[in-house]
Amino acid sequence: MAKQETLIRLPEVVRLTGLSKPSIYRLVKENQFPKQVKLSSRAVAWRMTDISTWIESRIAA
């Protein structure tokens, strides 16, 4: 059975990273932050593993 991926919404991404909403979207546009997953026509989320990996890369840098 495949491992289930946890999806998190923008407020949680802001809380985990300490970045503002505009900073997150700017970094996504610049390909420096994980891209979001489209859930519906007006809803997006991020994969928790992608955000965790990004945070770890920032700590290592």
Based on the structure, what is the number of domains in the chain?
Answer: 1
Range of the domain at 34: 20-60
Give the pLDDT confidence of 7-58 residue by residue, as tens digits: 999 999 999 999 999 999 999 999 999 999 999 999 999 999 999 999 999 9
CA distance 57 to 22: 21
Determine, yes or no, domain membership for 41.
Answer: yes
Determine, yes or no, domain membership for 51.
Answer: yes
Determine, yes or no, domain membership for 34.
Answer: yes
Determine, yes or no, domain membership for 32.
Answer: yes
Determine, yes or no, domain membership for 2.
Answer: no
Query: What SS3 string covers the chain?
Result: CCCCCCEECHHHHHHHHCCCHHHHHHHHHCCCCCCCEECCCCCEEEEHHHHHHHHHHHHHC
